Amino acid sequence: MRTLLYILQKEFIQILRDKRMLGIILFVPLMQMLILVYAASFDIKNADILVVDNDMGTVSHGLVNKFSGSPFFTITGTTFSEEKANELIENDEADIILSIPAGFGEDLIRENSASIQLIVNGINGTSAEIAAGYAQNVIMSYNKQIITETMGVPKQKNAGVIQTVSRFWYNDFLDYKHYMAPGILVILVTIIGMFLSGMNLVKEKEIGTTEQLNVTPIKKYHLIAGKLIPFWVIGLFDLAFGLIIARVAFSLPVEGSLWVLFAFAAVYLVGVLGVGLLISTYADTQQQVLFIGYFIMMIFILMGGVFTPVESMPQWAQIVDIFNPVCYFIEVNRMVLLKGSGFTDLASHFIFAILFGLTMLVLAISKYQKRV
């Protein structure tokens, strides 16, 4: 035990003396939370819509006004030329073209049916799908308004009216910052834990102090534990720091127990730090650690459900995600913070985190070679 305490004392002194590492510990969480949470959003607002109105009637004007009154669209201009409209959307000067044919109002009133065309810029498939859905909702709403006005539904006093009120559980106002902040927190803790732990051990190799440690009678598990515990503490500190930033900046709700969240984070960090230390046992330079760690982190993050729900991924990707620790931590973060889930709801996640942490730690200790 005394041996481990001396190693920990050495590690904390080195960390406190390294101003660059202190900057990473404090500055990176602040910037990552304040920038990425705002930037990473699935919401579409102010989509630029170009109107091609060849009808110029009262009904078509009402439809255009309906779009201009929506918070999701901005009318950027009108034209009578289909060719010019297509040219603008090809140059990314418009997101949607609303094409209203001549005789639209007359057909709607006389024939009880009329057609309009929506042309959506589909370069970004996700944004295009969401914007098209918003546009269809605006058109449907206007269609109901026309039916009500022309068919005289309000005059039918005995007609029953069905009213629906929508409520979104766990995120009443569909605030994407509340959805993204827990995921960004996971990325923050994972990156800092994996990279700092891996680079710290390799740094010892580069400056030659590893050889001095290897000739001492300390055991391999003493050395690995001494490298792991300081960054385990730093990882938990950064999680708490990020939660404070999210709470103050985005009013992130905390519905569940923080004890459960930090208990899972403590187990999760053992596995992540173990991955960093395992990488460092194979690498000889900090650059190699960065390349290998970056490759692993990209897979973990992109398949972890931060930006794309795991349920929407192909079946093979969902099977692969069974072994993705980031996926589990993101679920735990969102379930605890937004849903108020407890330990019993997350028992399977804890079991995976414990198995993952033990596996990575054992591999890191076994692969480290005490040689001069």
Most distant CA pair in the chain: distance in Å? 95
pLDDT on residue 41: 66
On the CB side of 290, CA atoms within 13 Å amount to 4
For 81-90, 143-152, 297-306, which range has the lowest pLDDT when averaged over its residues?
Answer: 143-152
Confidence of residue 371 (pLDDT cuts 50, 70, 90): low
For 40-49, 112-121, 317-326, which range has the lowest pLDDT when averaged over its residues?
Answer: 40-49
pLDDT on residue 214: 66
Confidence of residue 155 (pLDDT cuts 50, 70, 90): very low
CA distances from 32 to 40, 332, 342 (A): 11, 20, 28
Res 48 pLDDT > 90:
no
**Residues forming a β-bridge with 47:** 73
* DSSP characters over 229-261: HHHHHHHHHHHHHHHHHHHHHH-----S-HHHH
Q: What is the pLDDT of residues 160-169, one digit of tens each?
A: 556 677 777 8
Average pLDDT over residues 23-46: 77
Q: What is the pLDDT of residues 201-240, one digit of tens each?
A: 888 777 777 666 666 777 777 778 888 888 899 999 999 9
pLDDT on residue 199: 83
Q: Is the pTM of this model over 0.85?
A: no
Confidence of residue 364 (pLDDT cuts 50, 70, 90): confident
pLDDT on residue 353: 94
pLDDT on residue 266: 95
**Percent of the chain whose pLDDT exceeds 90:** 23
Q: What is the pLDDT of residues 272-313, one digit of tens each?
A: 999 998 898 888 888 888 889 888 988 888 888 887 788 878
The residue ranking higher by pLDDT, 330 or 285, is 330
Name which CATH class applies to 47-155. alpha beta
For 20-24, 54-58, 247-251, 356-360, which range has the lowest pLDDT when averaged over its residues?
Answer: 20-24
Q: b/e for 226-254, b at 16 or more Cβ within 10 A?
A: bbbbbbbebbbebbebbbebbeeebebbe
For 38-47, 104-113, 146-155, 190-199, which range has the lowest pLDDT when averaged over its residues?
Answer: 146-155
Strands of the 96-100 sheet, one edge to the other: 73-79, 47-53, 96-100, 117-120
**Percent of the chain whose pLDDT exceeds 70:** 92
Res 357 pLDDT > 90:
yes
Confidence of residue 372 (pLDDT cuts 50, 70, 90): very low
Confidence of residue 368 (pLDDT cuts 50, 70, 90): confident
Indicate the angle between helix axes 19-39 and 220-250, nearest 10 degrees: 40
Q: What is the pLDDT of residues 86-101, one digit of tens each?
A: 888 888 888 888 888 8
